[in-house]
Homo-oligomer: A and B are copies of this chain.
Amino acid sequence: MENKTTIHDIAKALKIDASTVSRALNNSPRVSQKTKERIMAKANELGYQRNLLASNLRKNVTNTIGVIVPRISRHFFSSVISGIEETAYDAGYNVIICQSLEQLKRERKLVETLLANRVEGVLLSVSMETDEFDHLLHMKNNGTPFLFFDRHCEIEGISSVLIDDFQGGFDATEHLILNGCKNIGHFSGPQELAIYRNRTAGYRKALEKHKIPYRPELVVRSSLMENDGAEGAKTLLSLPYKVDGLFSANDIAAIGAMKYFKNEGVKVPDDIAIVGFSNEPVSGIIDPSLTTMDQPGFQIGQIATKLLLEEISNAPNANPILAKTKILKSSLIERDSSRKCN
């Protein structure tokens, strides 16, 4: 807050009025070219820099959107943020990024902070703790456009940008089936999260489509950490019949399982083929025998931002945009085309 030169300073130096300076600086056509140049020159000389706070206060805009994610350092979210940042930047918007650290309390406070900062819209992915929605309803009543990405809540009139977890689960499982797998295990996560329920539903749907009976003992629930994966692999190996495929709801657990299998002399993918949802950039380099479902974070960020900016510019309208849920397809990434079960 050192830059002291204001339009008044440069006005005084030029013995003209501040309003003329303001106009010149905004490139108004109602200032002669000559004075414009004098003003610009002086502004440069004095190192003038517009005070956006004052300008925004006056104009009642901020050109800023807020983003709340659970954790910036999770690769999926930082990819989304990249997409948001880029799209917003191109549209002349600033972005304030915050992390809830998966805490409802923090999420609440962040919403307040963003509103107090008069952001023109908010993009958010709710924390795992979020089971009350007062703060979100507040935003809605408040008239601040916002939308969810990845993790959402059912709030009427609020759009979401999501990954099609059901389809992803279906694709992953069908991929295994089409490669000859008969007994396909599945690692799932906390059932409170829709993403895991949906992935599991996709798994079941694919089995159903191909007339493979669903067996509960093939589904292992955990927190999907690496050791959970190893544990799950052990469970699958202990079954009285041979498991030849595995669909893991994330890649970390898949990797844990893969290591366990290899250690036990079970060949991947020849003895057992694995597909995992990709959360980190890990799977891309870890092993060509691991197939992953790519989650297009960057794209989600772009789309979410576009939608939000659209809502922002339409906000004054009497009739709001219909809430739409944009669903993105995750894509299967195979690194080794020779994958084969049996």
A residues neighboring B (CB under 8 Å) = 1-3, 47, 49-54, 56-57, 60-62, 71-75, 78-79, 81-82, 85-86, 89, 94-99, 101, 112-113, 115-118, 120, 138, 141-144, 226, 252, 255-256, 280-282, 285-286, 297-298, 315
Contact = CB atoms under 8 A, between A and B. Distances in A.
Contacts of A99: 82, 85
A61 B117 contact: no
Contacts of A78: 72-75, 78
Contacts of A74: 78
Q: Which of A57, A116, A285, A315 has the most CB of B within 10 A?
A: A285
A82 B75 contact: no
Contacts of A60: 1
Contact of A118 (B51, B79, B96, B138): B51
A14 B281 CA distance: 58
Contacts of A2: 142-144, 315
Number of copies: 2
A120 B51 CA distance: 13
A21 to B, nearest CB: 16
A177 B2 CA distance: 53
Nearest to A143: B2
A161 B81 CA distance: 25
23 contacts: A2-B143, A2-B144, A3-B142, A3-B143, A47-B141, A49-B115, A51-B116, A52-B116, A52-B118, A53-B57, A53-B118, A72-B72, A72-B78, A73-B75, A73-B78, A73-B79, A73-B81, A85-B97, A94-B96, A96-B97, A252-B285, A280-B282, A286-B286
B117 A53 contact: yes
A132 B339 CA distance: 50
Nearest to A81: B72
A97 B315 CA distance: 26
Contact of A61 (B1, B101, B280): B1
A238 to B, nearest CB: 24
Contacts of A144: 2-3
